[in-house]
């Protein structure tokens, strides 16, 4: 089937090819009149979106490892589903800890990703203070340069071959900042190896419980596991850990809620809107039961105990059991969600992801439960609550001091320049420093000898800097919205162009039918159908013209932003679109045309004709039958 026929089918197949041997002339004319009327109605619906092709089902473990009484292998307990993109660390008792990398694209050490945590509806609409939507942020402590050589090589290869939204090494504006999270929940075997210094495979027969997540432990014991394991690595395998200056190695800890939720939703392997808007990661046309061990209402028998790790499909990031099986502790204490922010009162600790005993609403990644650190008989623990760990590091090692100072000093300067110079093309433009209040404060600091004045000026400088950081983040988000809007507009122009070609093609066919008929009544009906088709063409032309003007307005509006910010957001949108199929790929093609138009607009001093825009946007519309 041709691309034209696919798009025509997607657009409700309003122009089927009629067979003269199958219908009488009069019936054909009636059908054509109805189809023309339908097309006139459809033509005025702006913002047509093509249906994306179905996403390919995600690969799952080759064998579903059920709860069995057979003796498990070491592989069952540490990595039942190995991948070439895993990161492996040694563990006592010849064990392993398998990590997955989580990448956050950012412009520098003070950049991060704003994400919406929580749920729109996780089964508690009347209690939205529990996990109502709220703003969070996530980033990572590691750059490529901070990591062991083998890890650096693997991550570079992944990034250069389009690792989701993670920037490639050639990106001059955005870097990948990383943290690493355990691929599976910590198992009973791994717990015994680290905490009890006991190797089950040595002392005798392995238990069917060894590959299950470790539960029935306190939050304090989970933290203690991260301490003991880090110390074991420092003593027995120090070369495996990233290191910084002043004897500052990487270390293990519990994940923050934002880190856990970002990773559980698919991290850099899903588009930003899916993280912020959807309650679960993309299921790839599979039922949620393929990804989670939980209490399904339609199940004949609910699960009676924890499953072995890795018995279900992984999420897009390659993590297993982020939904169901064992609920998981995180580092953060619980706060209410009030007014899109976290309330100031601090309570118990948070568990995420639900367990095998919970319902579907309770295993959503945005859902959160508060648990007490202590009960009357001691520290809280539960047989369905476990944990996974994160490899992290200090953010202010000594060898980062100069670059942190440099990046902090630059924050706000470019944003101020773009406000005072609408055509600001980048950081190398000279500007009148006297117009910049921060530069003026710096000048006053250099000449004043009064300690009180210096203290006040320093305070004022930091207030201005923090405000500029907030404004710059808001401007970047606005610019990203402008780019996306331009792409959707360009796609609409293309779809109207396709419809126009379809209608024009049918006008020619109607005229051919008229030339072949000898019936005056049929000829009059054909004239009426042709007239309606011409009206449809006029309406489509009007829509193409209006959308073209809106598209040009988006181009003009984007030029109010600094070149560096624009190119940074353009790259992020491109990385995001590269993740999707079907419609996302179509938008990716529109992004190439948009980038071309931006370049023309700049070279021609702010001029770009509607004719050029329409020609470029409509050039992708296939000819009928092509």
pLDDT digits (tens, 9 = 90+) for 208-249: 999 999 999 999 999 999 999 999 999 999 999 999 988 899
Longest Cα separation, the chain:
103
Domain spans, the chain? 3-45+478-618, 74-392, 400-473
Give the model confidence (pLDDT) of 116-144 as tens digits: 999 988 888 888 899 889 989 999 999 99
pLDDT of residue 555: 87
What pLDDT is recorded for position 374? Answer: 96
Closest CA to 527 of 29, 18, 24: 29
Burial classification of residue 345, based on how many CB atoms lie within 10 Å of its CB (0-12 exposed, 13-18 middle, 19 or more buried) = exposed
Q: How far apart (Å, rounded) are the C-alpha atoms in residues 619 and 571?
A: 24
- Contact between 98 and 184 (Cβ < 8 Å): yes
Could you read off the pLDDT of 54-104 as tens digits, one per residue?
333 345 764 445 444 577 888 899 999 999 999 999 999 999 999 999 999
Closest listed residue to residue 599, CA positions, set 555, 568, 549: 555
Confidence of residue 362 (pLDDT cuts 50, 70, 90): very high
Q: What is the mean pLDDT of residues 566-579?
A: 85
User: What is the residue whose two structure tokens read 């209410």?
Assistant: 336
Task: Identify the burial level of 406 via C-beta atoms within 10 angstroms of its C-beta, where 0-12 means exposed, 13-18 middle and 19 or more buried.
Answer: exposed
Identify the pLDDT of residue 583.
Answer: 79
- What CATH number matches the domain at 74-392, 3.40.640.10, 3.90.1580.10, 3.40.50.12280, 3.30.70.360? 3.90.1580.10
Q: Using CA atoms, how far apart are residues 183 and 322, in angstroms rounded to an integer?
A: 9
Residues listed for the chain: 626
DSSP state of 5: H
Band (413; pLDDT cuts 50, 70, 90): low
Of 588, 592, 566, give the one whose Cα is nearest residue 579. Answer: 588
Mean pLDDT of 454-464: 81
Element (H, E) at 79: none
Share of the chain above pLDDT 70, in %: 84
Is the pLDDT assigned to residue 266 strictly greater than 70? Answer: yes
Query: How sure is the predictor about 416, in pLDDT bands with cuts at 50, 70 and 90?
Result: very low
Q: What is the DSSP string of 440-458?
A: HHHHHHHH---HHHHHHHH
Rounded alpha-carbon distances, angstroms, from residue 540 to 34, 54, 391, 500, 535: 18, 29, 56, 6, 9
pLDDT per position as a tens digit, 274-327: 888 889 999 888 999 999 999 987 776 778 899 999 999 999 999 999 999 999
Q: What is the pLDDT, as a whole number, of residue 617? A: 85
Q: CA geometry: angle at 126 spanning 122 and 132, to 5°?
A: 50
Model pLDDT, residue 325: 96
For residue 608, the model assigns a pLDDT of: 82
Q: Phi, psi at residue 369, to the nearest 5°?
A: -125, 140
What average pLDDT does this structure show over 355-373?
94
Residue 352 pLDDT greater than 90, yes or no: yes
Task: Report pTM.
Answer: 0.73
pLDDT for the residue numbered 582: 75
> How large is the average pLDDT for residues 406-420?
62
pLDDT at 187 over 90: yes
Q: pLDDT band for position 45 (50/70/90)?
A: very low
Q: Rounded to an integer, what distance in angstroms lies between the CA atom of residue 223 and that of residue 229?
A: 10
Cβ-contact 42, 12 below 8 angstroms: yes
pLDDT of residue 570: 87
Output the pLDDT for position 11.
Answer: 37
Q: Where are the alpha helices (DSSP H) in 204-297?
A: 219-236, 257-264, 272-277
- The structure tokens listed for 103 are 């990448």
pLDDT in tens, 464-508: 777 777 777 788 888 888 998 899 998 898 899 899 899 998 999
Q: Which two tokens stand for residue 585?
A: 């790929």
Residue 464's pLDDT is 79
How large is the angle between the packed helices 583-603 and 451-516, nearest 10 degrees? 110
Mind giving me the DSSP string for 358-402? S-SGGGSTT-EEEE-SEETTEE---TTEE---EEE--S--GGGHH
pLDDT at position 9:
40
Range name among 333-342, 405-414, 485-494 with the lowest pLDDT average: 405-414
């Amino acid at each position: 089937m041709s691309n034209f026929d696919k798009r025509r089918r997607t657009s409700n197949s309003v122009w089927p090819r009629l067979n003269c041997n199958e219908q009488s002339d009069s019936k054909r004319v009636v059908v054509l009149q109805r189809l023309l009327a339908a097309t006139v109605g459809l033509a005025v619906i702006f913002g047509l979106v093509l249906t994306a092709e179905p996403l390919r089902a995600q690969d799952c473990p080759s064998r579903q490892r059920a709860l069995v009484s057979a003796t498990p292998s070491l592989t069952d307990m540490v990595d039942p589903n190995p991948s070439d993109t895993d990161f492996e660390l040694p563990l006592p008792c010849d064990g392993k800890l398998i990590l997955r990398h989580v990448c956050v694209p950012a412009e520098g050490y003070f950049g991060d990703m704003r994400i919406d945590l929580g749920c729109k509806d996780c089964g508690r609409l009347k209690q939205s203070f529990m996990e109502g939507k709220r703003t969070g942020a996530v980033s990572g402590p590691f750059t490529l340069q901070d990591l062991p050589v083998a890890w650096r090589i693997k991550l570079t290869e992944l990034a250069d071959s389009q690792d989701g939204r993670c920037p490639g090494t050639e990106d001059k504006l955005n870097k990948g900042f990383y943290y690493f999270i355990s691929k599976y929940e910590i198992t009973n075997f791994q717990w015994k190896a680290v905490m009890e210094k006991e190797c089950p495979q040595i002392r005798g027969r392995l238990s069917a419980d060894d590959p299950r997540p470790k539960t029935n432990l306190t939050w304090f014991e989970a933290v203690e596991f991260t301490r003991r394991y880090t110390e074991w690595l420092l003593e027995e395998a120090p070369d495996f850990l990233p290191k910084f200056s002043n004897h500052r190695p990487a270390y293990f800890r519990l994940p923050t809620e934002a880190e856990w939720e970002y990773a559980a939703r698919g991290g850099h392997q899903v588009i930003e809107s899916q993280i912020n808007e959807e309650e679960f990661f993309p299921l790839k046309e599979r039922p949620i039961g393929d990804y989670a061990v939980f209490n399904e209402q339609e199940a004949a028998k609910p699960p009676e105990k924890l499953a072995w790790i890795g018995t279900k499909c992984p999420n897009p990031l390659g993590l297993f059991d982020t939904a169901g099986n064992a609920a998981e502790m995180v580092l953060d204490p619980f706060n209410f969600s009030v007014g899109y922010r976290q309330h100031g009162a601090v309570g118990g600790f948070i568990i995420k992801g639900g367990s095998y005993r919970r319902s579907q609403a309770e295993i959503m990644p945005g859902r959160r439960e508060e648990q007490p650190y202590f009960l009357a008989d001691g520290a809280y623990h539960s047989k369905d609550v476990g944990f996974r760990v994160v490899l992290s590091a200090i953010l202010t090692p000594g060898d980062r001091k100069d670059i942190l100072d440099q990046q902090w000093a630059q924050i706000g300067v470019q944003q101020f320049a773009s406000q005072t110079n609408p055509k600001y093309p980048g950081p190398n433009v000279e500007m009148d420093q006297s117009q910049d209040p921060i530069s003026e404060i710096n000048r006053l600091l250099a000449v004043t000898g009064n300690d009180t004045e210096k203290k006040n000026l320093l305070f004022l400088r930091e207030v201005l800097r923090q405000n500029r950081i907030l404004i710059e983040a808001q401007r970047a988000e606005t610019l990203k919205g402008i780019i996306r809007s331009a792409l959707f507009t360009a796609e609409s122009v293309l779809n109207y162009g396709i419809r126009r070609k379809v209608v024009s093609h049918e006008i020619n066919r109607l005229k051919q039918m008229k030339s072949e008929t000898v019936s005056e009544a049929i000829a009059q009906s054909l004239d009426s159908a042709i007239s309606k088709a011409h009206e449809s063409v006029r309406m489509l032309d009007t829509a193409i013209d209006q959308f073209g003007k809106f598209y040009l307005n988006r181009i003009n509006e984007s030029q109010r932003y600094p070149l560096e910010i624009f190119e940074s957001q353009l790259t992020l949108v491109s990385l995001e679109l590269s993740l999707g199929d079907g419609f996302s790929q179509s938008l990716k093609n529109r992004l190439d045309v948009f980038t071309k138009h931006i370049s023309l607009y700049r070279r021609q001093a702010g001029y770009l004709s509607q004719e050029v825009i329409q020609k470029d946007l409509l050039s992708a519309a296939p000819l009928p039958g092509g």
